[in-house]
Each structure stands twice: as structure tokens, then as C-alpha cells.
A and B are shown apart, each in its own frame.
Chain A
């Protein structure tokens, strides 16, 4: 590699002395040490080279440049001294500092280390390695003049963690070009090419003592998709190798001196392949957070809204930006639970990636508030896996409050309703008009069913009814008792009257006997048949007696006695039956009736 100490010609007054020398060289081969001084007048003191070095030179060249810029003269001058050095024995050497002395200052160059390899031994050492799979992958397949390598930034990664890959060409011979580059299909990875400038010139690099011309063919980023030991198949390419072929020529010219003149250079295609590689992809640890959406790397997150005061149905944009390095392309969108009443559209996702290391991914959510009010847009919680810390990191943003104002129902209200196929076309729909008829308003009255009084009325009515019932029943019972008494005592009373009649008979008051007999009979019938004395008639008595299944014979007898008693009251005693017989007959009849009526 060419080590270059930056020499900025900005300061014209400041004198600098730079040295340019290879880091390594092969013993016996000539290499150059170049000193550059941005000044012409001064004394250069060459360094004391190692005695084993054979030094030629210096070849000195001076360059003076006069410029007129805006009327100012500017003189840029420089001196270059080139020493051609050939090292004899391998080892590590130090090239001491050179000095340059002007009238004012003395500057020194840097000391340089140089490693001199033994040309043969390095050849042998690499020869032993031939056929083995190089673990490091840094060295080319030694021994071959042209080779190709896939260099990976990491070979032990987590799933999703990006790996930078470089396809590099190593050559020790001249190439005129490359063609038919065939990259492997990188199974198990998602590959993303990085724009690589086309290979125009080769850099110098010394690897294990061998100088190679190297060049980057292609850079890319790999995102492992599956866990496990994943093999990367070899890449293939055809390199166009310039080979010096000796044409069949005249023996006169058979001299090495002429070789360079007469040998022709031909381009020979040579197929080269890389070594297969394996990458260990570790799965992401479980359990994964719920808000993990596949982002692996180190990120930061921030969010913003376009407005916090919005009109109804006017769009508001919520922007969530994920920044950092990692698999930005594969990072899923954050899940935000927007409040109800806000219509959410799928986010617009933009990835701004500045190379492999860092970039940003922007999620733009278009929100349309469909309801008025105050809505809380919750903080975004987004978990990423940080391979450096080997754990999940939860990133959070702040929440927002969205005030939505406006009048709802402006658009949807006036849709006319058409009912097809009707004679009457209904072009609109509206409520019916208010009624202004009567303004009779009633005040809110307390419900009766809720008051105890109402139910007490029921109880009171029931109580009064029961009272009436009880009183009436008692009355009935009392009356029934009176009648029963009379019934039971009817015969007794009748006999009492009859015995009194008999007594009257003995005392000779015959007129009164019949009346007494009549009273005895009427009294008996009234009590026994439960008919009031005032209501008593013969017909009523007979009907009642017939109902009670009395014999017609008894009724006839009763009729005769009653007729006799009545008759005797108005006719002379002689014409009627004797009162004694009447008394006897009455007593007999009462006895018979008593048997029937009891």
C-alpha cells in the first residue's frame, strides 16, 4: 500500500519535507524512496541509509510555478529527490529522517519502517498454504498469479444484522481486463449492491511479502435471513491475462535483448473463482418484544406531526423517523394504535441510506380525523435488536395531542333519496314540522304507584269491605240464632198455650179458649216455618208445609181447626165443636206437625 503523508500546499511559507517509501519490499528488488520539499532554496541532507542498502541517486528535479492571482504573484516551487534503493538482506529496517535546512528553519522528514522479505522464502511459505482454506480470508490464494476473494466484515452475526462484503481481485501479473463476473446467489441472505466505481487501476498491496495489485470489483451488503451455518458459494470471473509469448523467430535474434522487442503480448482468458465461505448466523434471542418489527442495528427514533390543531376531515401527517445503522430496509413499520375516529392510511415509507453504515427510514402516516374532539396520538414504541449489546432495545417517541374542530355531518346530511318507479318523486327527506296547536303543558307529577298513600287506599278499601262483611255476617248469625230458638221452642210454647186454653176451659171462659188455640197454632206455625207473624196467612203456611212434605191430611186438619177457631169467635158456642175437643185436636196436630217439621 502506498503510504502518503498529506502534503497540503496551502501554506506557502511553511516548509515541509515528506517522504514516500514502501512499507515492504523484496530483497534484491529495487524500490524508490521519494523526498518532496515545497521549497527550492535550502540544503537537503540525505538520511543515513542502512549499510546493507545499495543506494543510487538522488535524481533531483525542481519545479517552479509562478501564478498571478488577482494581481498577486504566487510562487509555488518544489524539489523532488528520488533514491533508488536495493536491499540485500531480509529484515526490518528503519530509514532515518532526512533534513532540509533553509535560512530560517530546519525541517525533518518522518522516520520510516521498511520490511524486507526474502523473496524465495516467502514463495515457499505461501506454497505450503496452497490448497488450504484460508480462514482469515484476507490473503489471496497464494501461489496463483490471479485470484479473487470475498471479504466479509463479519462472519459471526445475528439474523438481520448487515454484513459488508467486498469482492476483491489480487493479481501479480498484468491484466487487461475482467469479464463474465458471476456472483453467487447468496442463498439465505438478502443482498444489496453498493455502487462501486468500475475497476480502472490497481492498488499495490504486499501480503505475506508478496506484492499484489489489488482492486475492488464489487461491494455489497448482506442481510442474513435464516439462522445457521450459511455457506456462500464461490464467485466466478474470467480475468484477461496478458501473456508474453515468444514468436517463432530468426535464430539471429535469439538473444534476450531482443526479447522485449520481438515478443508479442497476447491476452489469455483465465477463469478464477473464490473460496467458498461460511457465515455463522445466530437467531435473534427469544422472546422477541411485541413491538419488534425486524430492525437489527443501533437506531434512534423520533416522531413529529404536521399539526396539532386540525380541521375535521383535514389530513394530518405523523412522521416517524428511524435513524441509525443496521438493516433499515428490513425494518418494519411501527404499529401505532391510533384513537378511534381518526382514519389511518398505510404509511408512506422512504429509506434514505447513505451507504452501509448509517441512514434513515421515514414512515409517514396520513391521518384524517373523522370526528371532532381531542385525540391522543400515543407514543410510538419500537424495539430493535442491538447486536453490539446483544439485546433488544426499546425506542420511544413522545405522544401528541390532536385537537379536531369543525362541524360534523356537513357532507353526508343532504344526500337526496330517490325512490324509483313511483308516481311521486321524493327529492328530499326532512322531519315533519313542529306542532303549535295547544300549548297545554302539564307539570311533572309524582307517580302514585311510588307513594305509600296510594297502596294504603287499597288496604283501606279492603279493610272497610271486610268490616262490612264481618258486621253483616254477625247480624245474620244473630238472626239465625233467634229463629232457631223460636223453632226449638215452638212446640213447647204451643203446648203452654194449649194448657192455658184448657185452664180457661175449666174456668168456663169458653170464648177465650178458641182464641188461645188459634194463637197457639199460629204461633207454632210462625216459629216453625220462620215466617213473621205479620206475614202469616193460611195459604203461605200451607205452601210452606207442602214444601216441608207435610201430609195433606195434616193440612186439612189444620185448616179445619183454624176455621173452627175463627168460626167459633163469631158464632154461638153451641153450634160449634166443644172447645175441649178442639184443644185436644190441636194438641194432637201439633204433635204430628212437630214430627214432620223437625
Chain B
């Protein structure tokens, strides 16, 4: 009895110190736990940081590693996918994600995206949405100044140059707005989700009555098309659609 109380006390104390630590300290602590082999402890610390709203490429990458090592491939894939949104060109993330994907049950032939969509997404993810937004605003101001120069300085030299520069700046500004929007969509409103249930059946209708269409196992990435009650219509990488319970997946 005394021992239980003691354990509870220690646990409580841990919780208090945990709450009192700065996020950087907890991040470092999670790294130490990972190094010492306590993968699930590290994973839960990383996950808590993520839930509190802290973001960094390395945080998500490390979280993915910790989940992978603790055997939760689905969560590992989820965090690698999230990390990829912050660092699309990171080779380590790609490598680990590929390994985690090779350990899941489902093998689905995915329809590859069009090359320009891929490039555009890559470009959009190179920096954050707000960086793109600010850059777009600055570029817009530049375009306005150039346009004013063109319109006001009637006989100034390089009037034509200022005209073309204004057009170019305006186009760049527009492109940057699109990139900012795309980045926001990818990072904050991503429709992709990872199946977390060990096994789940995709049905033709929301509810338990629809015909069974396919069976998915944990770790498979799907695209959420719409939601209805506790069910989501998902699109598989090969293009098939079906309804799956919402609690069996987690959005990226």
C-alpha cells in the first residue's frame, strides 16, 4: 500500500517536473530517452510536444523514429509525413518513411501525381506559408511602386523597363500567394490520413451496413474526401473510394 502511494507520488512528481520543463528541455530529454532505448517514452514525449503545438522538422522526424522503434509503424508514418511537410527535401525523412512503409501490410499501387503538381507542392513546402505570404505582400508593393513609376514619370528614362518589371513583380506576387495558400492547405488542412487501426473495413456507405469493399491495415495512407458522422469517405492511393470509421485514422 505504502509502495503504491510512493509510486503514485513519484509519478505525480514526474508529471509536475515534466510540466515545469521548457519545451526545449523536454525535447532534449526525449532525445536522451531515445538514445537509452526507451522508445515509447521518447515517442510519448515527442507526441506531447506536437500536441502542444510545437513544430520543427527535427521534432517530427525524431517522433517518427521513436514510434517506429516502439513498433507503432502507423504513427511513425504519420509523423514522417508531417515532417515531410516541413522539410520536403530532407533525405533522411524520405529514407525512414520508405522503410516504415515497407513494414506495413497493405501494398497499394499508387497513381503518381502529375509532375507539375509535385513540383508546385515541393516549391510550396520549401518555406512556411507565412514566409510565402509576406514575400507575396512585399512583391506586391514592389509591383505597385513600379507601376506608379510607369504611370507618373511620364518622360522618365526606362519607363518601359519599369512597366515590365511591374508586370513581373505582380506575377511573382500572385505566384507567391498561390504557394502560400498551397502550403497552408498542405500543412494545416491536409486531407491525407494514416490508418491507425490494426485492421479496418472500407464499406460502400457510412455505417456498419454498407457492402464491404476493401480491407485496410494500419499504416496505409489515404485521402479523406468527406466526413459524415463518425465516418469518413477515403480515397485509396490507387483511386478506390470507401467509407471508414473516423476513429481508425489520424489526419496528417
Contacts and interface: CB of A to CB of B under 8 A. Distances in A.
A442 B57 CA distance: 10
Given A341-B198, A448-B129, A449-B184, A434 B62 contact: yes
A340 interface: yes
B137 A454 contact: yes
A534 interface: no
Interface residues of B, number: 56
B62 A447 contact: no
Interface string B46-72: 000100011110110110011011010
Given A441-B59, A443-B54, A457 B184 contact: no
A448 B133 contact: yes
Contact of A431 (B53, B56, B96): B96
A412 to B, nearest CB: 8
B144 interface: yes
A447 B199 contact: no
B141 A442 contact: no
A548 B23 CA distance: 78
Interface string B64-84: 011011010100000000000
A449 B148 contact: no
A469 interface: yes
B100 interface: yes
Nearest to B102: A429
Given A340-B201, A371-B198, A447-B184, A461 B140 contact: yes
B171 to A, nearest CB: 15
Contact of A409 (B23, B73, B134): B73
A447 B145 CA distance: 26
Interface string B140-171: 11001101100110100000000000000000
A406 B21 CA distance: 36
Contacts, number: 121
Contact of B152 (A429, A437, A454, A472): A472
Nearest to A442: B55
Interface stretch (B2-10, B27-35, B111-119, B236-244): B27-35
Given A371-B199, A432-B96, A441 B23 contact: yes
Contact of B100 (A431, A461, A465, A472): A431
B68 A458 contact: no
Interface in B185-200: 187-188, 197-199
Given A408-B198, A435-B62, A465 B54 contact: no
Interface string A428-469: 011111111111111111011110001001100110110011
Nearest to B128: A445
A372 B218 CA distance: 11
Interface in B104-136: 128-130, 133-134
Contacts of A433: 65
A373 interface: yes
A461 B199 contact: no
A441 B27 contact: yes
Nearest to B97: A431
Nearest to B100: A431
Contacts of A440: 24, 56
| Binding site secondary structure of chain B | helix
B232 interface: no
A251 interface: no
A290 to B, nearest CB: 15
A432 B61 CA distance: 10
Interface residues of A, number: 43
A448 B134 contact: yes
Given A432-B92, A461-B141, A465-B147, A442 B56 contact: yes
Contact of A469 (B130, B148, B180): B148
Nearest to B46: A434
B99 interface: yes
A413 interface: yes
A432 B66 contact: no
Given A340-B215, A373-B199, A434 B66 contact: yes
A441 B144 contact: no
Given A441-B23, A441-B59, A465-B147, A449 B198 contact: no
A436 B187 CA distance: 23
Contacts of A431: 65, 68-69, 95-96, 99-100
A407 interface: yes
Nearest to B34: A434
Contact of B198 (A373, A430, A432, A435): A373
A447 B141 CA distance: 20
Contacts of B61: 434-435
B53 A409 contact: no
A438 B65 contact: no
Contact of B95 (A432, A449, A458): A432
Contacts of B128: 445
A437 B27 CA distance: 11
A464 B144 CA distance: 9
B55 A447 contact: no
A413 B103 contact: yes
A19 B156 CA distance: 148
A113 B110 CA distance: 92
Contacts of A454: 133, 137
B222 interface: no
Contacts of B181: 449
A447 B56 contact: no
Contacts of B197: 373
A447 B27 contact: no
Contacts of A469: 148, 151-152
B217 interface: yes
Contacts of B234: none
A439 B28 contact: yes
A430 B99 contact: yes
Nearest to A412: B103
A458 B148 CA distance: 15
Nearest to A436: B31
A555 B27 CA distance: 88
A372 B58 CA distance: 32
B177 interface: yes
Nearest to B59: A441
Contacts of B92: 432, 435
B175 to A, nearest CB: 14
Contact of A439 (B27, B66, B71, B184): B27
19 contacts: A340-B199, A371-B217, A373-B197, A408-B71, A409-B103, A434-B58, A434-B62, A435-B62, A436-B62, A441-B23, A442-B55, A443-B54, A447-B129, A447-B133, A449-B177, A454-B133, A461-B137, A464-B144, A469-B152
Given A434-B31, A435-B61, A461-B137, 5 more contacts: A373-B198, A408-B71, A409-B71, A431-B100, A441-B49
Interface of A: 340-341, 371-373, 407-409, 412-413, 429-445, 447-450, 454, 457-458, 461-462, 464-465, 468-469, 472-473, 476
* Nearest 9 A/B pairs, CB to CB: A448-B133, A444-B53, A434-B62, A431-B96, A465-B144, A441-B54, A341-B199, A447-B184, A436-B31
